Amino acid sequence: MSGSHHSHSAKPRVQTSSALDSSLHAHKKGDARHTHSKQVSNQNLLLIALVLTLGFAGVEGAAAYFANSLALISDAGHMVTDAAALGLALLAQIISRRPPSPKHSFGFGRAEALAAFVNSIAMLALVAWIVFEAITRFYDPHKVDGFTVTVVASIGLLMNIVVAWVLSRDKKSVNTRAALVHVMGDLLGSIAALIAGIVIQLTGWMPIDAILSILVSLLILKSTISILGESYHFLMEGVPLHIDYLQVGKDLRGIPGVLAVHDLHVWEMTPSFPALIGHIEIAEIQEWPEIMSRINEMLLDKHGIDHVTLQPEIFGGLDEHTHDESLQDDIHSSPVMHQGDTFYVQCVDGESTHRMAYHAWGNPRNSKVLLCVHGLTRRGSDFKTLAEVMCQDYYVVCPDIVGRGDSDRLSNPMQYAVPQYVADIAQLVKTLGVAHIDWFGTSMGGLIGMVYAAMPNSPIRRMLINDVGPKIEPDAIKRLGSYVGQPFSFANRSEALNRLNAICSTFGEHTPEEWETYNGPMLIERNGLWIMHYDPNISVPFASVNPIMAKAGEVAMWHAFKQIHIPMLIVRGAESDLLSATTLAEMCKVNPYARSIEIPNVGHAPAFVKKEQIALAKEFFS
């Protein structure tokens, strides 16, 4: 990425496979807040605590055995666990000091959080065992030597106070604090054992031993869960707890010269070392150095973030190498607002050419373009209702994919396939002369979008995928084959519309007016008969697919989907036979940029003519 706050430039040097070029990890002054001397100091504290704890653990373990005291056993168990926790914490700090390597460019700072997580899990297990053992002793009381318990617990208490004081000198490390929780639990265990020993000596009441063991276990449970949650949050690259993510985005948008912010991520590379990456849209690239300087100052002063990597993007910028000059002159001089007006773009198929029609809504001067691409047997008019709403913010462009609607038909039907469709869309974007587009793709339009978005330097910056995924279910293929390219002709338009509405019943329940708006444009009159708008030959490639080809295509689509690194919203009709719930879950699992939503009482595919569905799209693209 460009525009980084960091200085990553240095004189060239030869790098071997076993060492990392130091210039690749160079930071400006202030980027690293942990010093070597501080780390060594922390390690010394942990080493002292480890020696003291381990030395007394053996003594208390033997005494617990002879005294037959659960309180003393729990305290001894704490001591042994403490020793392991301190050893693990010490090892983690040693590992975290290792410098970055070619395989670990961020270094090993996360080792401390990992150790804290493991320590917390161990502590939960110990608490569970103590509570279980205490409960069993209510039913099977054990005789306890109160005097031995009192003496050993007193010595253990003094030792634990010393260890806790040593560890409390390092309050910033989550790793050390996790170890301290162990020690504090053991300190409380020593107090409980001391009280139990005194009570048993004075009264002979044995249940006090089990009761105090449960009480101590519950007291330390809260701290353990807190450390566990904090270390888990860090390991999962959550936003640092002291940073308000939404406020960071708001403050970035408030910087003079910043027009928009997207793909913003905030996390901690190592404990107490927050980092930020994202994309910033600006008007002029010449302004970037000054804008970046303001951003750096704000992020450091207000949020304590000093590791910043931002990529500048020209808001609605034009690619001087790809846009059509005559069209751009027309756009900048035209005062009109398009309301479904039809235009054409010349495209290439093999050695021939064809025209692809597209329908537009909104201001052609608007650099924010929303491209809406329809399904297999549909056309751009599907998005009329959606476009009339979205054109308040976007220039909405809805093509008729070749072979459909007002677009030309191909002489070679085998070219009715995604590669040709992607090439045509790329030509359309080039003709529009915009650097970025947002994408709404239904069914086949979603597949085209996935392939286009996975290509290098794709202009798509966010995408709504409507009820389709890399895997197409066999039942859906069978259903599509029952009508795609099959004879469809009626002497009466109303009969044709009723038949088409029945075919599209999975799209959801709609009023007669909505069906007319949605399906009416699908019908054309020719030679006195009402037929479908598309070339029946679009079914030729579809029908020629065999199981081996289908599986190869599925593998290719999964590969493409994993390469997409833009925000995606995957919409599924809850009763869809084309996009299964299993495939949807897998899509969100393999690509962290994807999130999903299901629309109830709808199959394949939601039509997005209902207000609530349009609101869903408007929210995603806003």
d(CA 613, CA 606): 8
Query: CA 379 to CA 266: how far, in whole Å?
Result: 41
Note the pLDDT of residue 21. Answer: 42
Q: What angle do CA 311, 314, 317 make, to 5 degrees?
A: 145
Question: How distant, in Å, are the alpha carbons of 26, 77, 158, 361, 392 from that of 343?
Answer: 53, 78, 86, 11, 20
List the structure tokens of 592. 């962290």
Report helix, strand or coil for 497: helix
467 conformational bin, left if phi > 0, alpha if psi -120 to 50, beta if neither: left
Q: Is CATH 3.30.70.1350 what the domain over 245-314 is classified as, yes or no?
A: yes
How far apart, in whole angstroms, are the C-alpha atoms of residue 263 and residue 276?
A: 10
In this structure, whether the domain defined by 41-236 belongs to CATH 1.20.1510.10 is answered with yes
CATH of 338-621, one of 2.60.40.1930, 3.90.870.10, 3.40.30.10, 3.40.50.1820: 3.40.50.1820
Half-sphere exposure of 359 (CA within 13 A, CB side): 23
Beta-bridge partners for 594: 568
> What is the DSSP-derived secondary structure letter of residue 397?
E
CA gyration radius, the chain: 33
Q: Which residues contact 621 (CB under 8 A, 6 or more apart)?
A: 370, 390, 393, 394, 438, 440, 462, 464
Residue type, 581: A
Is residue 123 within 8 A of residue 220, CB to CB? The reply is: yes
Distances (CA, A) of 334 to 329, 338, 427, 470: 9, 10, 22, 41
* pLDDT at res. 154: 82
The amino acid at residue 246 is L
Residue 310 corresponds to which amino acid? L
pLDDT digits (tens, 9 = 90+) for 211-268: 877 877 776 677 678 777 777 777 777 788 888 988 998 899 888 888 888 888 998 7
Strands (E), 45-202: none
- What residues pair up with 311 in beta bridges, in sequence order? 279
Nearest residue to 522 via CA among 487, 497, 542: 497
Residue among 621, 170, 554, 208 at smallest CA distance from 383: 621
Residue 328 CA, chain-centre distance (Å), reads 37
What pLDDT is stored for residue 480 in this prediction? 84
Count of beta carbons in the 10 Å neighbourhood of residue 234: 23
Question: Hey, is 279 helix, strand or coil?
Answer: strand
User: At residue 358, what are phi and psi to the nearest 5 degrees?
Assistant: -145, 150
The CA distance from 392 to 370, in Å, is: 11
Low-confidence ranges of the chain (pLDDT < 70): 1-46, 49-50, 54-58, 60-61, 63-113, 141-145, 169-179, 181-183, 185-186, 189, 219-220, 223, 269-272, 315-336
Residues 606, 607, 613, 614, Cα dihedral to 10°: 150
With H, G, I as helix, E, B as strand and everything else as coil, classify residue 511: coil
CA–CA distance, 107 with 111 (Å, rounded to integer): 9
Domain spans of the chain, in order of start: 41-236, 245-314, 338-621
Angle at 137 between CA 131 and CA 143, to 5 degrees: 130
Measured distance CA(279)–CA(315) in Å, rounded: 11
Do 466 and 596 contact (CB within 8 A), yes or no?
no
Q: Which residues contact 82 (CB under 8 A, 6 or more apart)?
A: 53, 57, 163, 179, 182, 183, 186
CA distances to 121, 255, 571 from 600, in Å: 40, 41, 11
* Cα 60 from Cα 63, distance rounded (Å): 5
**Cα(21)–Cα(101) distance, integer angstroms:** 9
Q: Are strands 529-532 and 568-573 parallel, antiparallel or unpaired?
A: unpaired
Type of residue at 393 = D
First CA to last CA across the chain, in angstroms? 25
Sign of the dihedral through C-alpha 38, 40, 43, 47: negative
- The pLDDT of residue 267: 85
Q: How many other C-beta atoms lie within 10 A of the C-beta of residue 356? A: 26
Maximum C-alpha span of the chain: 109
- Residues 362, 364, 370, 375, Cα dihedral to 10°: 80
